[in-house]
């Protein structure tokens, strides 16, 4: 078996059906298998796969086990020389899987690679980043961004000036479509299940790089990625889950002293950020009420709710216990 394609789904029946259809229409020339691990969907996903895609190996979980754990289930059931982690909200074009495998065949020092990801309108999705930094995280998630403190570090982290038309060695590629070798997984291990969702592929890329392999972005391969279809169902929790995983990443890969110092700065700056967002959101809400702007009012209410939920999650004790 040359290729194992692992797809984790959660209540995205239509997206998954579209993704599987694109795989059927644009299969690789080598022998391959498709493994879908469903995390307790309630939208008819299981029945849809069984009725429409009988050739798919389906693993149906009774509950949402998280992205990393579900991918690991798929890895344990897979047999391919290469493993492609693929999101259900992707659409595969012709030859792209063959090009990815051919590149890996010809570059044995490459542990993982990723394609150029496009939104449905054809615009490029920013799918390449450096590994997270303390300063970049402080700018991204806290009130320091209002003062533009550590802005350069944040832009360096997200590779703001990266050219998506050049084949480049990078720190990480997005897990929405990432190919790696089975030998790499056997060496560095599977995805770390301390990450329920988000940063599990960042952690895997970090371990791959630490073990001496290269990770490469391939712009000649293009895959459509609609983006955030599962996590978009829970927008308020999405930021909380991402931040929780980021903190776990720092605690795993940075020194205990450095992580503790970071948390001492991060926590009050995060709380201040949420308080500012609640205050600004409340002012905007009143303004939109006065001018009878219902869409603005709803948007302000949503932002207030999100900030309040963040504030509730990261109380003065809970953040240190992540």
Cα–chain center distance at 40: 19
3-state secondary structure of 116: strand
Residues 41 and 100 in one domain: yes
User: Is 150 in the same domain as 217?
Assistant: no
Is 70 exceeded by the pLDDT of residue 288?
Answer: yes
277 with 314, same domain: the answer is yes
Q: Residues 154-211: pLDDT tens digits?
A: 999 999 999 999 999 999 999 999 999 999 999 999 999 999 999 999 999 999 999 9
Give me the pLDDT at residue 310, please. Answer: 78
Total domains present in the chain: 3
Same domain, 168 and 92: yes
Q: Are both 62 and 174 inside the same structural domain?
A: yes
Does some domain include residue 316?
yes
Give domain status of residue 247, yes or no. Answer: no
Q: What are 261's two structure tokens? A: 């110092």
Check whether 321 has a pLDDT greater than 90. no
Q: Residue 136 is part of which domain span?
A: 132-158
Asked, for residue 115, whether it belongs to a domain, the answer is: yes
The residues with which 18 forms a beta bridge, in sequence order, are none
pLDDT digits (tens, 9 = 90+) for 103-121: 999 999 999 999 999 999 9
User: Does 153 share its domain with 166?
Assistant: no
Residues 179, 147, single domain; the answer is no
Domain end residue (candidates: 232, 266, 288):
232
Given pLDDT bands bounded at 50, 70 and 90, which one contains residue 233? Answer: very low
State yes or no: pLDDT of 96 exceeds 50. yes
Asked whether residue 266 is domain-assigned, the answer is: yes
H or E element at residue 299? helix 294-313
227 and 145, same structural domain?
A: no
Residue 297 pLDDT greater than 90, yes or no: yes
**Spatial contact of 82 and 181, defined as CB atoms under 8 Å apart:** yes
Domain shared by 182 and 195, yes or no? yes
Same domain, 115 and 36: yes
pLDDT computed for residue 229 by the predictor = 52
Task: Tell me which H or E stretch contains 77.
Answer: helix 67-77
Helix, strand, coil percentages in the chain from 3-state DSSP, rounded to 5: 50, 20, 30
The whole-number average pLDDT for the span 300-304 is: 91
Q: What is the pLDDT of residue 152?
A: 97
Q: How far apart are CA 172 and CA 119, in angstroms?
A: 19
Are 223 and 98 within one domain? yes
Q: For 205-214, write each residue's pLDDT tens digit.
A: 999 999 999 9
243, part of any domain: no
The answer to whether position 250 is within a domain reads no
| pLDDT in the model for residue 234 | 46
Assigned domain for 82 exists: yes
CA 114 – CA 171 distance, rounded (Å): 11
State the CATH number of the domain containing residue 7: 3.90.550.10
Between the CA of residue 165 and those of 22, 104, 179, what are the distances in Å? 24, 19, 19
What is d(CA 144, CA 159) in angstroms, rounded to the nearest whole number?
Answer: 19
pLDDT for 26? 96
Percent of the chain residues topping a pLDDT of 90 = 84
Does residue 248 sit within a domain? no
- Same domain? 176 vs 71: yes
Rounded CA separation 292/309 (Å): 26
């Amino acid at each position: 078996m040359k290729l194992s394609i692992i797809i984790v789904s959660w209540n995205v029946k239509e997206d998954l059906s579209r993704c599987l259809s694109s795989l059927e229409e644009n299969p690789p020339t080598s022998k391959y298998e498709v493994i879908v691990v469903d995390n307790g969907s309630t939208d008819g996903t299981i029945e849809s796969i069984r009725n429409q895609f009988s050739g798919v190996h389906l693993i149906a979980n009774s509950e949402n086990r998280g992205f990393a754990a579900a991918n690991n289930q798929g890895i344990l059931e897979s047999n391919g020389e290469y493993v492609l982690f693929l999101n259900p909200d992707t659409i595969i074009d012709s030859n792209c899987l063959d090009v990815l495998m051919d590149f890996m065949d010809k570059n044995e020092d490459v542990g993982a690679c990723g394609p150029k990801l496009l939104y449905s309108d054809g615009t490029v999705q920013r799918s390449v980043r450096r590994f997270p930094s303390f300063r970049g995280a402080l700018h991204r998630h806290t009130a320091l961004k209002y003062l533009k403190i550590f802005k350069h570090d944040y832009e360096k982290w997200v590779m703001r000036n990266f050219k998506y038309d050049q084949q480049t060695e990078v720190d990480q590629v997005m897990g929405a479509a990432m190919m790696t070798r089975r030998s790499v997984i056997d060496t560095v291990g599977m995805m770390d299940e301390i990450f329920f969702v988000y940063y599990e592929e960042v952690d895997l890329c970090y371990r791959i790089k630490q073990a001496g392999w290269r990770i490469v972005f391939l712009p000649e391969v293009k895959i459509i990625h609609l983006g955030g279809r599962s996590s978009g169902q829970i927008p308020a929790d999405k930021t909380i889950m991402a931040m929780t995983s980021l903190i776990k990443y720092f605690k795993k890969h940075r020194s205990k002293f450095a992580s503790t110092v970071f948390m001492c700065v991060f926590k009050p700056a995060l709380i201040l950020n949420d308080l500012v967002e609640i205050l600004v959101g409340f002012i905007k809400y009143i303004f939109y009420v006065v001018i009878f702007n219902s869409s603005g009012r709803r948007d302000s209410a949503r932002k207030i709710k999100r900030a309040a939920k963040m504030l509730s999650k990261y109380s003065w004790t809970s953040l240190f216990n992540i």
